[in-house]
Amino acid sequence: MTDIALTPGTRVAVLTGAGVSAASGVPTFRGEGGLWREYRATELATPGAFARDPVLVWEFYEYRRGLVAGCSPNAAHTTLADMARALPVTLITQNVDGLHQAAGSTDVLALHGNLYGIKCSRCSYRIYDRSHPLPQLPPPCPRCGAHLRPDVVWFGEALPQTVLHNAWQAAGECDVFLVVGTSAVVQPAAQLPLVAKGGGATLLEFNLEPTSVSPWCDETILGPAHETLPAWWAAHRP
Ligand code: OAD
């Protein structure tokens, strides 16, 4: 096991993926439960799918909102919120479920947007609204009448630039980088552990299984994150 000594000044950056929310009941993208009706989640999370069938894609996101609304943060989420009260932590997530925020994490760098955010597919209209369902599928933009769409990043779309910039900077400057519950196959998020490694950080991974980033990790801690992460934090907190 990698011997690591955390002090109150140790700069930690964390990248989380769907696996961190698995124990809360949110299905991962590439594991079991990644299907909705006969569709893979990754087939519907595209601008092309929305252009072809906006109702279908809107229904898929309504389904995901409903599913997440019934989920609570688990011990992995609360551990990361606790960690940020003890150390300078930058929490970067690919998840759109809002469970880090619900666990008390603030200033979360949400690379892929937010399930409860809504924006216009044409103009700059944007809102954050948890009060769903909406009467029409998909609802029209109150400003220009075009389709509203979820404020999430779809395949082929650019990530929010400031969020990405801040994530990149935190990865490059941290002392310890934790990769939690992500298959680390989706770019550019998958680069962040390597940016951290290149900057000299210790790289630790928490996953059920080895991933494409494992060869670069100082240690991969196998097991469910809601068990392994609290145990690691309990053993290492300053
Ligand atoms: P994936 O579904 O690709 O990967 C989930 C990872 O979590 C896998 O490596 C699992 O082994 C691991 N895992 C599952 N349960 C776990 C548990 N209880 N504890 C620890 N690890 C567990 O999800 P992401 O890597 O988040 O993007 O996917 C990245 C992006 O691809 C998503 O943000 C989404 C998707 O398409 C967009 O929609 C733009």
C-alpha 203/C-alpha 223 separation (Å) is: 17
Tell me if 45 CB under 6 Å of ligand 1: yes
C-alpha 175/C-alpha 13 separation (Å) is: 8
Q: What is the mean pLDDT of the chain?
A: 93
Q: Looking at 77, 100, 112, 226, which residue is catalytic?
A: 112
The mean pLDDT of 187-213, rounded to a whole number, is 97
Largest CA distance in the chain: 57
pLDDT at 57 over 80: yes
Residue nearest to atom 37 of ligand 1 (CA): 154
Q: Which atom of ligand 1 lies at the shortest distance from residue 18's CA?
A: 26
Confidence at residue 238, expressed as pLDDT on a 0 to 100 scale: 94
Tell me if 157 CB under 6 Å of ligand 1: no
Confidence band (pLDDT; 50, 70, 90) for 134?
low
CA of 235 to the centre of ligand 1 (A): 26
Helices and strands (H, E) in the chain, number of each type: 8, 11
Query: What phi, psi does 128 have (nearest 5°)?
Result: -120, 115
Q: List CB contacts of 125: < 8 A, sequence separation 6 or more.
A: 119, 141, 142, 143, 144, 148
Q: Is 226 a catalytic residue?
A: no
Tell me if 16 CB under 6 Å of ligand 1: no
Confidence at residue 29, expressed as pLDDT on a 0 to 100 scale: 78
pLDDT in tens, 36-51: 777 888 889 999 999 9
Cis peptide before 133 (omega within 30 of 0): yes
Residue with tokens 């009260």: 85
Q: Decide: pTM greater than 0.75.
A: yes
